Each structure stands twice: as structure tokens, then as C-alpha cells.
Amino acid sequence: MTEPRIYPFGDSALVCEAPAPATLACQERIWALAQALGEWPNVVEVVPGMNNLTVVFDPRSADLETLASELSVAWNRAVGVQPSTREVDIPVRYGGADGPDLQAVADYTGLSVDEVVKRHASAEYIVFFVGFQPGFAYLGELDESLHMPRRAVPRLEVPAGSVGIGGAQTGIYPAASPGGWQLIGRTPSVLFDPTRDAPTLLQPGDRVRFTVLEIVR
């Protein structure tokens, strides 16, 4: 795997960034590195991202250059962590008011609406990482035939539970927010609930499948 780019992020953090594209193998290595760094002295927090990892450290007791060198060595030694065996089913109502961009995805890909839904719901996805907002899981391994650019003009408000496609990924909005992904459906599942023992439904490495509740045309 190509050497990552390691650079400062302020005076108390380092970013370890792997080259594109995002792959499962790269994410597995990032998960492994995050586990290892959690045991390092002077490391305050480790934040895995998509093709990158941010290490927050105590600048009073850690030298930035030394830490960057050690991080590079750790990256090369990291053995990828396999995805979790946990499987989560997400029920989805496709199309209609819940999926206003479903027809646009069909038109762009040259597939029928039914075929778009079939391909989206027949795959098993891996949670690459959680970010953007609490509980928003970026799901990798989307069928290439469903890859589609984000909207040219993002929506000011996307309803909670909306299932969308953004580039080569699919994901679910846990809460209402602005967003530019192509919305193909909506789930009644609650992705983030701060009152639960585990507030975030999906975790990095989880396996996710979508089940079809209904297709509205």
C-alpha cells in the first residue's frame, strides 16, 4: 500500500491520510491503527475517517516530529482489522416523498426503478466510518452501476432516516440536516439516540443490508 501523507492539524493533532480511492483494505488498516494508537502515551483521542485518521495528542508532553515518525512506522506495521461479524438490517420505503431522487438515479444509470431498488437492497455493505453528524454511517461497496454524483444544489433540509447515494457510497441521515446526496428512500430505524446505552446504531465494520418495505412510484 502506498505511503500515507502525515501532516499537522493545528499544534496538537496529526492527520494520517492514505491516497484515494477509499477501499475496504485501507479502512481495515485505519481501524487497526486506531486501536493501536489508543494505547499510546500522550495520545488524547483517535478519530478514524474515510482514508484518514486524526491523532490528537498532548503537545506539552509529545514532540510533533517524533510522533509523526512513529505514526509512519505504525502505519506500515498495522495489520488490518477484519470487519465486524455484526449484521444490521435496515428497512426502507423506496421512492415517493421518501425517495424523491429515485427516478433521477434510474434515469442517470439507465436502469429501471425496480432494478435500482433491487441492486441497492441486494448488496451487503460495510460501515467504513461514522461522521458528518452523530450516527451517519458511510457505507462502502455500493454496486458500481449505482454510482451517481451528488446533487448540484444541496437541499436545505433532508429528513431524518433518508437513505441516499453520494458518489460511490450510500448512507442514511440520522437527523434532519442540509445535504446533497441523491435520496432514494427512507427508513423508520433510529440511527442515533443519545438515551440508548449505545447511542449510535451502526459502528465501523458493521455489515448492513437494506430490506424493502415498499416501492412508491
| pLDDT averaged over 10-residue windows placed end to end, the chain, 217 residues | 85 91 86 88 89 91 88 85 81 97 97 97 93 90 95 96 95 96 97 92 93 94
10 and 43 both lie in a single domain: yes
Instruction: Give all strands (DSSP E) within 96-206, no chain letters.
Output: 125-130, 137-140, 155-158, 162-166, 169-172, 177-179, 182-186
**Strand, coil or helix: 75:** helix
Answer with the one of 77, 101, 116 that is the final residue of a domain. 77
64 and 101 both lie in a single domain: no
Q: 82 lies in a domain? A: no
Q: Which domain holds residue 111?
A: 87-216
DSSP code, position 30: H
pLDDT of residue 116: 98
- For 78, other C-beta atoms within 10 Å of its C-beta total 19
d(CA 125, CA 159): 22
61 and 123 both lie in a single domain: no
DSSP code, position 195: T
